[in-house]
Amino acid sequence: MRFPSSGVTTRHGTPGIEYPGYPDPLEHSAPSAPALPHPALPHPAPPHPAPSHPAEHDGPVPRVPRDEVRRRLLTAAARSFAEHGYADSRLEDIANAAGFTKGAVYSNFSGKQELFGAILGAGADSEFAAVMKGIGDTDQPSEAVGLAARTVARRIVGDAERGRLGLEFAARAARDERTRAILTPLRRAQRATAARSIAAVAERTGVRPAVRPELAALILHCLCNGLSNECVADPEAIGADTVEEALSAVLTALIDPPAPKAPQAPHTPSTALASPTDHSGQSHG
């Protein structure tokens, strides 16, 4: 995909990408070309051409399917970004680790920015899928909140590397227009997915969100990013329990607001405490 002048459509969440874990992409190496036989010694040509029988090695070498090329590039890129960071990862090294040339990268991505955006997008999609799977079909708001908070907390704390890379990419986006063109639609897509998930869970559990789903998604998105950054900066103080507690508190306030209090009966003052100027119901002789 080439980088268009009017914007970039980020294609993320590619099926099959190993995230996290970064397995060795060489385990899925492309089929190698069969070895050619040793040339035979010259011999007199027959009087009539012999029938042609294609040898097993005749014909083009099978090409690696495009989806497989993309998957292997993403796997190699995820490993490189995790080991070297975004700035020090080179496209040539990523392509070589995946078993291709640098041209294969540009045949599937506009550049390193989009390749990295696809990695972040795949991780976000995986997280949302894990949250929805964890919630399952529960119709209890408090149970849904607890399951969602626990799932997200474990992923934030257990995958601090993605937090570091996301922070690095966001910092670059603040200064680089090409990076921002990748990050902006990615973040919008993540918030839209979160909003749909919140609306679906609210409808199933029968709660009325305190704010509209889009605003709730923005709040949770910022909270998760902030918790991820704090976990990177101070992992000893910001552990899984603390992250889960923070997420539970905000989720409870957003999608499980407390029931309104029943109105109290108006207070009727007793006769002994009635105002001296109040002469209603009193007789005068």
User: Which CATH number characterizes residue 201's domain?
Assistant: 1.10.357.10
41 within domain boundaries: no
Q: Give the span between the Cα atoms of 206 and 128, in whole angstroms.
A: 21
150 within domain boundaries: yes
89 within domain boundaries: yes
Cα 63–chain centre separation? 30
219 within domain boundaries: yes
pLDDT the model gives residue 220: 94
Per-residue pLDDT tens listing for the chain (285 residues): 333 333 333 333 333 333 333 333 333 333 333 333 333 333 334 444 444 444 444 444 468 888 999 999 999 999 999 888 888 999 999 999 999 999 999 999 999 999 998 888 887 787 778 888 888 778 888 888 899 999 999 989 988 888 888 888 889 999 999 999 999 999 999 899 889 888 888 888 888 889 999 999 999 999 999 999 999 899 999 999 999 999 999 999 987 554 555 566 665 554 444 444 444 444 444
Structure tokens at 261: 């209090």
Identify the DSSP state of 63.
P
Q: Are 256 and 210 in contact (CB under 8 A)?
A: no
273 within domain boundaries: no
Write the single-letter amino acid at 63: R
- 172-181 long-range contacts (CB < 8 A, ≥24 apart) are 172/86, 176/113, 178/3, 178/111, 178/113, 179/113, 181/3, 181/7, 181/8, 181/113
Instruction: Provide the domain count of the chain.
Output: 1
pLDDT the model gives residue 31: 38
What domain range is 146 assigned to? 66-255
261-270 tens-digit pLDDT: 556 666 555 4
27 within domain boundaries: no
